[in-house]
Chains A and B, each alone.
Chain A
Amino acid sequence: GAVVSQHPSWVICKSGTSVKIECRSLDFQATTMFWYRQFPKQSLMLMATSNEGSKATYEQGVEKDKFLINHASLTLSTLTVTSAHPEDSSFYICSARVASGVTDTQYFGPGTRLTVL
Chain B
Amino acid sequence: GENVEQHPSTLSVQEGDSAVIKCTYSDSASNYFPWYKQELGKGPQLIIDIRSNVGEKKDQRIAVTLNKTAKHFSLHITETQPEDSAVYFCAARYYGQNFVFGPGTRLSVLP
Chain B residues lying within 8 Å of A107, measured Cβ to Cβ, are: 46
Q: Mark B64-103, 1 if CB is under 8 A from A, else 0.
A: 0000000000000000000000000100000110110111
A: contact size bracket: 20 to 34
In the complex, are the beta carbons of A46 and B46 less than 8 A apart? no
Within 8 A of A (CB), among B23-74: 32, 34, 36, 41-46, 49, 51
In the complex, are the beta carbons of B102 and A43 less than 8 A apart? yes
If over half of A's interface residues share one DSSP class (helix, strand or loop), that class is named, otherwise mixed; here it is: strand
Chain A residues lying within 8 Å of B41, measured Cβ to Cβ, are: 111, 113
Given the complex of chains A and B, what is the CA–CA distance between A34 and B98 in angstroms? 9
* A residues adjacent to B (C-beta < 8 A): 1, 4, 6, 34, 41-44, 46, 49, 93, 95, 102, 104-111, 113
